[in-house]
Amino acid sequence: MQFTKLELAQPILRAVAAEGYSTATPIQARTIPHVLAGRDVLGCAQTGTGKTAAFALPVLHRLSGSKPKGPRRARCLVLSPTRELALQIGESFDAYGKHLPLRQATIFGGVNQRPQVAAIRRGTDILIATPGRLLDLLDQGHVDLRGIETLILDEADRMLDMGFIQDIKKIVTKAPKKRQTLLFSANMPEAIQRLADQFLHRPAEVHIAPESKTADRVEQSVYFVDKRNKPTLLAHLLDTLPVERAIVFTRTKYGADRVVKQLRRTGVHSEAIHGNKSQNARARTLDNFRKGKTNVLIATDVASRGIDIDGVSHVVNFDLTHEPESYVHRIGRTARAGASGVAVSFCARDERGWLKDIERLLNQRLDIRTDHPPYESVDAEPAPQRQKNAKPKPSTGNPNKPGRRHRRRPSGKTPDQRKAQGGKPRRRRGGVGKKPS
């Protein structure tokens, strides 16, 4: 369906055309009319299908058609699980609403709150926030949610996984009960359905893809490889595959930094993005990846939700995830905007159970790759070699108890007997030996 048939305001249509879009995706074509009509919406679609525009475009249309009474305060609240995703949602609102007299502010943790508070005080129509920072500013009295007309929960499944459910409930109580609520998720487990039943009123349900199914355009395969050989295999694939942009997923933040160092030794430049990085560092890393200055991005699952960049040709699961749904989100970073993509997974012996869970969720088996590069043999750590003619060091303690000094056994003789035999009287523990009379 063409955007021109969706009854959006002309300034919005001009902005959409300027971004190079003319045809709405299925989630957009089916969601926008419901939002324009003021209905609650429960939306489920694969990652990369345009969910952000599905709620941003109709919300901008509704806000531009009415003027608030009294001081300007937020009328739309968008909750996002990560800082990166919040920033990208803010960029979308800026791009689609650039011809409208609306203001928006994005707030998130990890940075100084003063600029964010200043933006709120100047007045804002759209507030995009992560739950933690929003609760902090609510407690400090910097944010007023009594004017909220539309509440949007984006990536609701991830917010649930990250433990934000109680924060979300607290935030919702601060907003008016009479409001429009939109909930979007890449998959729809039972917990999300219960959340929707609690927050949404007779919503229009928009399901574009079967639950937790990956895009058909992603070519998926797996290598069975020992953990110690994963860095060699990764460097080999990055060197031999036609990689334009690649995202490599690790299970931990430390693992992400370690992969960057390992790739650097092979001459491959990469950057890591995870929760321990400062917000400025994360934004700079994403910008380098978007502009092509860095072609390989090492990421953790939490940070991956904020990566919405076209042109990612390959996704590599350096570490498999124990959550099958996270696998779906990982490989959803490729094959975006109608393109095709490749997802390669490394499976060590202790990860095979997780692979079975993933295949069970997908209802398909991943293709097994056997074109491994040659690996260096890794033997047990050799014993330290002694230098020739080197004398062994004298023992400083009982060899059966390393690190503890050996105590002499008591001889059973009195100080007088030892003195008579030419020995010195022993010192008593905690004091000086008694002098002989």
pLDDT score recorded for residue 209: 61
Give the residues of the chain that fall short of pLDDT 50: 211-212, 378-406, 430-437
Architecture of domain 218-369: 3-Layer(aba) Sandwich (3.40)
**What is the DSSP secondary-structure string of 304-356?**
HTT---TT--EEEESS--S-HHHHHHHHTTSS-TT--EEEEEEE-GGGHHHHH
The answer to whether the 3-207 and 218-369 domains have the same CATH topology is yes
- CA pair distance 413, 419, nearest whole angstrom: 10
Give pLDDT, residue 314: 94
| Token couple for 325 | 């749904």
Distance CA 302, CA 306 (A): 8
- Confidence at residue 434, expressed as pLDDT on a 0 to 100 scale: 47
State the pLDDT at residue 322: 83
Phi and psi (nearest 5°) for 209?
-125, 155
Which pLDDT score, from 0 to 100, does residue 424 have? 54
Q: Which fold has domain 3-207?
A: Rossmann fold (3.40.50)
Q: Residue ranges of the domains in the chain?
A: 3-207, 218-369
Give me the pLDDT at residue 165, please: 85
Tell me the percentage of the chain whose pLDDT exceeds 90. 52
Query: Left, alpha or beta for 243 (phi > 0: left; psi -120 to 50: alpha)?
Result: beta
What is the pLDDT at residue 338? 60
Q: What is the pLDDT of residue 392?
A: 40
Taking the mean position of all CA atoms in its chain, how far away is CA 259?
Answer: 16
User: What are the beta bridge partners of residue 180?
Assistant: 150
Cα 419 from chain centroid (whole Å): 76
